[in-house]
Amino acid sequence: MAEIRSIYTDKRKNDIRRRADYVEGAAVRKLQTRENPERRQRRQRRVHTSRRGSEKTQRMGLGYVLFLSAACALTLWVCAGYLQLQADNTARVKNIASLESQLTDLKQENDDEYNRVVTSVDLEKIRDIAINELGMVYAQEDQVVLYDSEGSDYVRQYADIPEEESGLKELLGTISR
């Protein structure tokens, strides 16, 4: 296939040479090569389009220049604002991290102090002082009053508890209603 192609290309070259070698008339003239009209048109188009481009750049008006300048200034202002916001965000993140670190340290100190206080309390010593020095006695069974609460572990006493059982039942009955 490659040989066939080369034969065709050789024939084309020979045809071009024959046309160029053609002599008209008895006297041999100087060989004048004609330029292909398509090439001439292309060349003229290139020149013409390049002139148009230069004319456009020369015709750039004041309004267009001001518009481009304003667009560039606005773009720079937006970029600067974005960078400022990013810097503020980074500073806040660092501040939050340092505050979290302080909070962790304070919690650790608080837990350590609480554990120190809890371990330093001797409940047997407190019981001994309360019974022997302050005269505390354990409650008798008839002194303990039990009642149902309404879901809360916290109890408020609004009045003195009466000494008699009947008065106590009436008081508890009015409170629970």
pLDDT digits (tens, 9 = 90+) for 99-127: 999 999 999 999 999 999 988 888 899 99
Answering whether pTM is above 0.75, one says no
**CA separation for the pair 75, 145 (Å, rounded):** 80
Helix H or strand E segment including 70: helix 62-120
- Give the model confidence (pLDDT) of 8-67 as tens digits: 555 555 555 555 555 566 666 666 666 666 776 777 766 655 555 566 666 778 899 999
8 A C-beta contact, residue 161 and residue 168: yes
110-124, 135-149, 160-174, range with the lowest pLDDT: 160-174
CA end-to-end distance (rounded Å), the chain: 113
